Structure 1
Amino acid sequence: MTTAAGPVPTLTEVAAAVRSSWDRDTCDDADRAGWSPRLPSRGQCGATALVLHDLFGGDLLLAEVWHPDGRLQGYHWWNRLPGGVEIDLTGDQFAPGETVQPPRVVVRPPGPPRRCGAQYALLRRRVLARIGGPGAAR
């Protein structure tokens, strides 16, 4: 399939572009100390969910993540694409016993993200370069 902007990349192609774009510089500041190339998805969920939302639309999903002892570990973001399919490219980032709770839909506010804006912008640039530019998906 093609659009006026050229070929539309598949979700598989976009996922590969996203995964190959992650590094310490695209990681959430809160997770940067724990990031490593052995677990590149750690701390990438917010920026990744926003990039997928840019490309495919749908819903942003947010859930609490709990430690095994019931303390809050943090928050996890992923996507529900149009048609209802959930995609979570960073679902493998959690340590044993960390539990992702049921999500809620979050409406994306206009403008750039308030948290991790630089990480999102960098990841977005890298992904768009790998898939062929800004009009590549939608």
Structure 2
Amino acid sequence: MTTARPPAPAPASVPPRVAAALRASWGRDTCDTADVADWSPRRPSRGQCGATALVLHDLLGGDLLLAEVWLPDGRLQGYHWWNRLPGGAEADLTRDQFGPGETVQPPRTVVRPPGPPRRCRPQYELLRRRVLDRLASAG
């Protein structure tokens, strides 16, 4: 039986209640469509990076970071999103989604375009709503 991996600790610059609200809000329905087949409750961060980075950006500001992810044979697996918060600390709440041999390359900063995301908009909107509801109910 495979057990869930413990989540990586959130950087000190991410309030613990925000990190907890994000992690508790992940599900198959908030997963990037490209990763749904690989998502499971044992690996809840799989496919959550784009929506998570956008919600964290909504809440804390900073920069969005984007990097290619390579497979062991050098093929492109996909892309990974995370945040650089005001003050310079990087916050990557979904880094533990990657399996052995999946290598995240150095990031580039991406300017967030105005308006809602073009890709995975329903997943982002659902995750955002869940997180804001959890934060509101926690006081």
Give the TM-score taking structure 1 as reference length.
0.88
Q: Provide the alpha-carbon RMSD of the alignment.
A: 1.2
Q: Distance in 1 between matches of 2:90 and 2:46?
A: 19
- CA–CA distance in structure 2, aligned partners of residues 128 and 109 of structure 1: 22
Cα offsets for 1:8-44 (capped at 9, x unmatched): xx62110000000000000000000110000000000
- After superposition, the C-alpha distances for 1:91-134 in whole angstroms (9 at most, x for unaligned) are 0000100000000000000000000000000000000001118x
Select 1:128's aligned residue among 122, 128, 132: 132
Q: Distance in 2 between matches of 1:59 and 1:13?
A: 21
Is 2:86 aligned against 1:82? yes
Is residue 2:41 matched to residue 1:66?
no
Could you tell me which of 52, 56, 63 is aligned with 2:56? 52
In structure 1, give the amino acid aligned to 2:60: F
Determine the C-alpha separation between the residues in 1 that align with 2:134 and 2:18.
8
Tell me how many residue pairs correspond in the alignment: 125
Which letter maps to 2:35?
D
Q: Which of residues 43, 46, 50 in structure 2 aligns to 1:42?
A: 46
TM-score w.r.t. length of structure 2: 0.88
Q: CA deviation at 1:71?
A: 0.2
Gaps in structure 2 of 5+ consecutive residues: 1-13
1:67 is aligned with what amino acid? L
Give the match's secondary structure for 1:75: strand
Equivalent position of 2:95 in the other structure: 91
Task: Give, in whole Å, the separation in 2 of the partners of 1:20 and 1:64.
Answer: 26
Partner of 2:35: 31
Name 2:19's counterpart in structure 1: 15
| Paired residue secondary structure (2:119) | coil
Provide the residue aligned with 1:117 in structure 2: 121
SS at match of 1:92: helix
